[in-house]
Amino acid sequence: MRDFPSCFGENGVQIADASSSSGTLLTPTTTTTTTTKNPQNLVTCVYQCKLHSSSCFIITINWTKNLMGQGLSVQINNPTNQSLQTLEIKPNLFSKNRGLKTLETESNQITIFWDLSRAKFGSSPEPIEKFYLAITINQELILLLGDLEKELYKKMNYSISSSPCSVFVSKTEHVFGKKLYATTAQFCGKGQVHEILIECDAIGGDDSVLLIRIDGKLVMQVKRLQWKFRGNYTILVDGLPVEVYWDVYSWFFGKLMGNAVFLFQTCLSAEKLWGSGQPGMGWSGHLGQVNGLGFSLVVFAWRNE
């Protein structure tokens, strides 16, 4: 249980350094993730995308926020986990918030389109609406995020014949608070976006209680949390079983700024996954070597004193 967050790994994740002076970076490099103590400063979304030729790619999107503003990075890995392309827009130069980049590899032409000039944000660095982020490989649309499809198609100089075949694999988010930690998740590909609220009070006492609510409804309660600081429980969301794992050891016995970790995981068969557009991935193993299927949400809850 203690090691489950590490299953997502750090390969293919590149976060902008606000002290750097360059604006857009396009290199096939790999770096590790770093975070600061700003509320909800990092959201990592992973998608498994499939060409009609059956070739699969893993695409990692990092949305960041710090005192300098919003940031974005995109990493594209092939099925062997080789990094093909990285796009990075740094927070201190987020004025360059629309454009496109193209890279020719030995066998693929990869193009990334983005327009965040009118994007609207909530408390999270992930945009809510009025944006698009799209990726094509060999002029085939493989991933499309956002609600400005018409603007995207005008930007392209070729037509798109079909919708992208993409699967939302996982979401990882860092949130900060004193006793409340909020995030959102879409457990089904075309389903409802749910509000998730994790609540924990009376840290250090025998009466410590962990509460988890989804859309305001209490779905899980753990009493005497100090003695049950790790565990798992199954809830139902959209009719799907969702396994909830928690590890709050650091809140009780770790450092002052230690973080608790929560994992919400669904599991579906491959046939249902690709047939219905549901998200999927198992949480064991490397991102480029997915064995199971399902959607995973990992929440790192940092306690502010």
Domain ranges of the chain: 4-163, 172-303
User: How many percent of the chain have pLDDT more than 70?
Assistant: 70
What is the predicted pLDDT for the residue at 165? 82
Inter-residue contact 103 to 80 (CB < 8 Å):
no
What is the predicted pLDDT for the residue at 220? 92
> What tokens were used for 142?
């493989």
Count CA within 13 A, CB hemisphere, residue 21: 0
d(CA 301, CA 305): 13
Residues of the chain under the 70 pLDDT cut: 1-40, 90-96, 161, 189-190, 202-206, 255-257, 267-293, 305
Other beta carbons within 10 angstroms of residue 171's beta carbon come to: 22
What is the predicted pLDDT for the residue at 24? 31
d(CA 159, CA 168): 24
What is the predicted pLDDT for the residue at 203? 60
d(CA 4, CA 31): 21
pLDDT in tens, 109-158: 889 999 888 888 887 888 888 999 999 988 889 999 999 888 888 888 77
Strand 296-303 to strand 165-177: parallel, antiparallel, or no bridges (unpaired)? parallel
